[in-house]
Amino acid sequence: MEWWVSMPKIELHAHLNGSIRDSTLLELARVLGEKGAIVFSDVEHVIMKNDRSLGEVFKLFDLIHILTTDHKTVTRITKEVVEDFASENVVYLELRTTPKKNDSIGMSKQSYMEAVIEGLRAVTAVDIDFVPHKINTQDSLNSIAMNDACDGTRRKKTYVRLLLSIDRRETTEAAIETVKLALEMRGVGVVGIDLSGNPDVGEWNTFLPALKFAQEQGLYITLHCGECL
């Protein structure tokens, strides 16, 4: 395992909410339990279970959405997730997340993403590069890994790029709003659009206009599909 950890790695499929430390989830759940918002004993086993069915995975995501609703928590988990990947020598990380809207606490999709960016800026364990540069065949990810590998004299660097996810529960209008936000945030690491969420929810035609719009604007697109076939 030490040898595998030492190898520079590229992570192309990381969900922010799917990469949170179990210890952080348990801590957040206990706090909400003490406030009476949830029953901690009812959710503890959901967090700690390892062999989950697809249905149980989305049950966990529903719980995570309850636990990660404020800006401070979003910033914290972003910082921790990036530092955890960096500790495993991930030199290029594509991190996807669904911008949340919660009017009750003044959270908009934009303020959610600003909290994510704040989390990137808060990372201290390694140098984080999240401002996009053109990466093409001449400037390969392999050369990035080699040029910025820790050689004992330089700090390690992790390149982080963000994908904004459209949730299958959203409307066409909400999906287009996410694409527009991605376009606005290109300068701070957003490079593409993701379609994800419970595969048993939503219709493909709902999101097609937003995905076409994203493609026309030059955003990269990645899709989750066929998980329940």
Among 92-96, 109-113, 136-140, 180-184, the minimum mean pLDDT is found in: 136-140
Residues 54 and 146 in one domain: no
- Asked, for residue 228, whether it belongs to a domain, the answer is no
Q: Please state the domain count of the chain.
A: 2
User: Does the pLDDT at position 7 exceed 60?
Assistant: yes
User: Which residue in 27, 56, 173, 227 is the catalytic one?
Assistant: 227
- Per-residue pLDDT reduced to its tens digit, 173-213: 999 999 999 999 999 999 999 999 888 888 989 999 999 99
Residues 87 and 6 in one domain: yes
Residues 56 and 152 in one domain: no
Residue 176: how many other CB atoms lie within 10 Å:
18
Counting beta carbons within 10 angstroms of the beta carbon of residue 146, is it exposed (0 to 12), middle (13 to 18) or buried (19 or more)? exposed
Give the pLDDT confidence score for residue 141 in this predicted structure.
52
Residues 187 and 176 in one domain: yes
Query: Could you tell me how many helices (H) and strands (E) the chain has, helices first?
Result: 9, 6
- Per-residue pLDDT reduced to its tens digit, 97-107: 999 998 988 99
pTM of the model: 0.86
Residue 186 is classified by DSSP as G
Q: What value does the mean pLDDT of the chain take? A: 87
Give the pLDDT confidence score for residue 38 in this predicted structure.
80
Provide the residue range defining the domain that includes 36.
Answer: 21-67
Residue 216 is among the residues annotated as catalytic for this protein:
no
- Asked, for residue 229, whether it belongs to a domain, the answer is no
Residues 103 and 37 in one domain: no
Rounded to the nearest 5°, which phi and psi values hold at 54?
Answer: -60, -40
Distance CA 35, CA 13 (A): 34
